[in-house]
Chain A
Amino acid sequence: MTQTISRLYDAKAETMKRDELRQLQIERLQSTLNRVYRNVAFYHGAFDAHRVNLEKLKDLDMLTELPFTTRQDLAGAYPYDMFAVPLRDIVRIHSTSAASDRPIVVGYTHNDLRNWTDCMARLLVAAGVDQHDVVQIAIDYNITAGAFGFHQGAQRLGASVIPASLTMGVERQLVIMRDFKTTVLVTTPGYAISLAAGMDHIQLHPERLTLRLGLFGGERWSEELRQQVERSLHITSIDTYGLAEVMGPGVAGECHLRNGLHINEDHFIVEVIDPRTLKALPAGQEGELVFTTITKEGFPLIRYRTGDVAAINPEPCACGRTFVRMTRPSGRTDDRILFGGIGFYPSQIESILAASEGLSTHFQIILDRVGGADTIEIKVEISEKIPGLDEIKTLETLRTNMMSKIKTALGVDAKVTFVVPRSLRQNGAVQRVVDRRAT
C-alpha cells in the first residue's frame, strides 16, 4: 500500500480535507470576486448587467449565478483590458498564438508566476520527476506560455533543465537526448511521434537512450496514440492539461496512477456545463469545462468557458491527493484545431483567404500523419474570375504567398494546394476539417 502513495510537492495543499478546501475556495472566490468587481471594467459591467450581488454569494454552488467569460470576451479586451492590476505590477506577458484573430494577452504578477511554478512543480513531482532528472523541454519557447511553465517547475525541483525548444530539427533533438542523457521528455504527442520516426530514420534504438518518462500536453490525444508513444520511445507517459488563458500548463495533471488528471483546486474552481443549455452537469458526465481562477492577481477569470469537453471524477484517488480528477479532454465544443501544440480556428484561415485576391473561401483543412510527422494541408478552390489563372507562375506566387501568410498568422507550416472550383463540395457543402491523424 505504501507504494501507491506518491510523493507530494505540497502535501498540505494536495491532501487537504474536502471541507477545508471548500472553506479555502469560498474565501478565495469571494476575495477574487471583490477584486475583479473593483478592478476590471468588464466584470464590473457584467456583474451589474446580471444583477449579481456579490455580498449575497455565500457558497460555491452560487457560482452559477455569475455570468460566463468567453474567448470572445477576452479577445475583445485586447490587449490589456482584462488585467486586474496596473501594467507596472505585471512581470510577464504571454499571449495565445493566433495573430489574424485578435490573440488573448495574459499578464502575470510576481505572485502569479510563483503560484504557476508551484502548480507545475506539483505536477512534475506527481509524475515522478525529481532533482536527479534531466528534463528536455521540446516545446517552442515563444510568446505562448507552455514551455516556460514546465521550465519553471522543473527548475524549482532542482532538475537539470534543457530548453531544447523546437527550433532545431528532430535529429539534433535526438542527439541531445542521447548525449545529454535526458531522462524526462516534455513535448506534444505529435512531436513525440516525429521523434520516434526520427529514431527509426537515424537507427537510434530507444534502449540507447536514458529516457524513462514523458510529459505531454498541448494537444488532444487518444489512448491508442498514447500507447504508440510509450511503445516507440520506451517511456511512461503522463498527461497534463492547461490553457494559456487560465494560467498555462499546470492546471491539471496525472499522478503516477494515471487515472485522470488532478485539478489544482486550491487555485481553480472547475465546473462542467452542457454547452447548449449552459446548465451544470452532474459529476461523471461529459461536458464543457469551465474554470474560475481564485488566486490569480494579474488576469483573473470568472467562469471561463474553455471549449474543452471532459468529465469530472470526484472519487478520492489512491495516490492520496484529494483534488478531483478530470478525464482526458475528448473533444471541443467548437471547431478549434490543435496542431503541433498550436490552437487555431478554421475561421482564421477563412479570413486570410478572404483577404487574398484570386482565391475563393471554399477550403478544406486536412490533418494527417505521414511517416510519423504531423502534416497540415489546406486545399483551396481558386476563383474563376482571376485573370492569368492558367499561368503556373501566377499560381505559384499565390501559393507561396498564402503559405507565408498562414505561417505568419498562425505559426504553422501548412502545405497549400489549389483545386479547381467546386471540386471540394460534396452535396453542396464543404467538409471544413478532415483529421486523419492516428486515432
Chain B
Amino acid sequence: MLRILNLDAGYGKLRVLKGLSLHVSAGEAVAIVGANGAGKTTLLKSIAGVLRPWAGTISFDNQPIQGLPAERIVGLGCALVPEGRHVFPTMTVRENLLLGAYCRRGRDGGAEIAEDIKRCFDLFPILRERQHQLAGTFSGGQQQMLAIARALMSKPRLLMMDEPSLGVAPLVVRDIYRTVARLKDQGLTILLVEQNARAALTVADRGYVIETGQIVLEGSSRELCGNREVQRAYLGKEYQTIDE
C-alpha cells in the first residue's frame, strides 16, 4: 500500500533521513522504532506532505505522492495523528471531529458523517460523554483519543500515528493500544512511530529500527523483540547488566 524508496528529507541544511526505504502492505501494522532524533517524525511528516522530501519516492497505492500538498494526501486516504495531538483546544469534541471530515465535504452527506462520528464514539466512549466539552480541558490521554478519532473521520485506509503514548498515563496507553489493535483487526493499515517500542511491537506485525536517519534493522515484530540489540536499546531489558 505504502512504498518508500531512498527517501532523503530534512530541515534547512540538516539532512535527517538518509536514503531510507520501507513499505507497508495492506492490512498490516508496521512499527518504526528508534531513539529521539533518529528521524521518525520527519519520516511521517514527509509521507503526510507536511514536509517536502529532498529526494526519493513515496508511493501510495502505486501512485507517487511525494511533494503533494497535505490535504491531497489526506484525501487519498492517508491520515496522520501528529505527535503532541494538536487538537483544537477551543473547540468541542464534536467540532474537532467534524474538522477531521473536512476533506470529505461535498462528497459525503451529513448522514454518513454522523454515522462515522457515532462509530468514533463507540470506539472511545469517553468522547461521547464529553462531546460538548472543549478539547483544551481534556487530559493527555483523552486528547490522544480525540486526535485518533479526528484522523479516522477522514476515512483513511492508512493511519499513521506519531508517538501515541507520549505524555499519556500508562493505563491509558494500554487503552489506546487496545484500540489500535481493534482498528487493525477491522482491516485498517497502520504505520506507528514509537519510542515505546514494547507497546508498538505488541500490536505491529513488522517493524523497522531507525538510527540517525537510516534503517539498521527490519523484521517481524517477533524477530525484533528477539534481537538482543533491540532488547537492550529499546525494550529496556538487561538494564542492570549493561556494562559495555
A contacts, CB < 8 Å to B? 20, 23-24, 26-28, 30-31, 34-35, 38, 54-58, 85-86, 88-89, 109-111, 114, 295, 297
B106 within 8 A of A: no
- B226: which A residues are within 8 A, CB to CB? 110-111, 114
Q: Is the CB of A55 within 8 A of B216?
A: no
Cβ-closest chain A residue relative to B215: A31
In the complex, what distance in Å separates the CA atom of A27 from the CA atom of B23? Answer: 8
Which listed residue (A26, A85, A88) contacts B21, Cβ 8 A? A26
- A297: which B residues are within 8 A, CB to CB? 227
Residues A85 and B22 in contact in the complex (CB < 8 Å), given A31-B217, A111-B223: no
Which listed residue (A24, A31, A54) contacts B23, Cβ 8 A? A24
In the complex, what distance in Å separates the CA atom of A89 from the CA atom of B241? Answer: 14
Q: Is the CB of B21 within 8 A of A23?
A: yes
Q: Is the CB of B21 within 8 A of A27?
A: yes
CB distance from A61 to the nearest CB of B (A): 13
In the complex, what distance in Å separates the CA atom of A304 from the CA atom of B35? Answer: 32
Residues A56 and B229 in contact in the complex (CB < 8 Å), given A27-B215, A114-B223: no
Q: Is the CB of A58 within 8 A of B215?
A: no
B175 within 8 A of A: no
In the complex, what distance in Å separates the CA atom of A294 from the CA atom of B209? Answer: 15
Main SS at interface, chain B: strand
In the complex, what distance in Å separates the CA atom of A24 from the CA atom of B229? Answer: 22
CB distance from A52 to the nearest CB of B (A): 13
- A86: which B residues are within 8 A, CB to CB? 228, 244
In the complex, what distance in Å separates the CA atom of A26 from the CA atom of B5? Answer: 8
Q: Which of B31-63 contact A (CB under 8 A)?
A: none
B18 within 8 A of A: yes
- B211: which A residues are within 8 A, CB to CB? 34
List 29 contacting pairs A-B, 8 Å CB cutoff, sorted by A. A20-B23, A20-B25, A23-B3, A23-B5, A23-B21, A27-B23, A27-B208, A27-B218, A30-B20, A30-B214, A31-B214, A31-B218, A34-B214, A34-B216, A35-B216, A35-B217, A55-B18, A55-B19, A55-B214, A57-B19, A58-B5, A58-B6, A85-B228, A86-B228, A89-B228, A111-B223, A111-B227, A114-B223, A295-B219
In the complex, what distance in Å separates the CA atom of A35 from the CA atom of B227? Answer: 13
Cβ-closest chain B residue relative to A31: B215
- B227: which A residues are within 8 A, CB to CB? 109, 111, 297
Q: Is the CB of B23 within 8 A of A56?
A: no
In the complex, what distance in Å separates the CA atom of A260 from the CA atom of B217? Answer: 32
Q: Is the CB of A34 within 8 A of B215?
A: yes
CB distance from B150 to the nearest CB of A (A): 31
Cβ contacts B197-224/A at 8 Å (1 or 0 each): 0000000000011010011111100010
Cβ-closest chain A residue relative to B218: A31
Interface centre among B5, B21, B23 (most CB of A within 10 A): B21
In the complex, what distance in Å separates the CA atom of A111 from the CA atom of B209? Answer: 15
- A34: which B residues are within 8 A, CB to CB? 211, 214-216
CB distance from B210 to the nearest CB of A (A): 9
Residues A31 and B5 in contact in the complex (CB < 8 Å), given A109-B227, A111-B226, A297-B227: no
In the complex, what distance in Å separates the CA atom of A56 from the CA atom of B211? Answer: 17
Q: Known A-B contacts: A27-B218, A30-B215, A55-B19. Give 20 more (CB < 8 A).
A: A23-B5, A26-B5, A27-B208, A27-B215, A30-B19, A30-B21, A34-B216, A35-B216, A35-B217, A54-B19, A54-B214, A57-B19, A85-B229, A86-B228, A89-B229, A111-B219, A111-B226, A111-B227, A114-B223, A297-B227
Cβ-closest chain B residue relative to A58: B6
* Closest 4 pairs between A and B when the two form their complex, measured CB to CB: A89-B228, A31-B215, A58-B6, A55-B18
- A35: which B residues are within 8 A, CB to CB? 216-217
In the complex, what distance in Å separates the CA atom of A114 from the CA atom of B21? Answer: 25
In the complex, what distance in Å separates the CA atom of A86 from the CA atom of B3? Answer: 33
- A295: which B residues are within 8 A, CB to CB? 219
Q: Is the CB of B217 within 8 A of A27?
A: no
In the complex, what distance in Å separates the CA atom of A27 from the CA atom of B21? Answer: 5
CB distance from A83 to the nearest CB of B (A): 13
CB distance from A40 to the nearest CB of B (A): 13
In the complex, what distance in Å separates the CA atom of A110 from the CA atom of B220? Answer: 13
In the complex, what distance in Å separates the CA atom of A27 from the CA atom of B30? Answer: 14
Q: Is the CB of A88 within 8 A of B228?
A: yes
CB distance from B19 to the nearest CB of A (A): 5
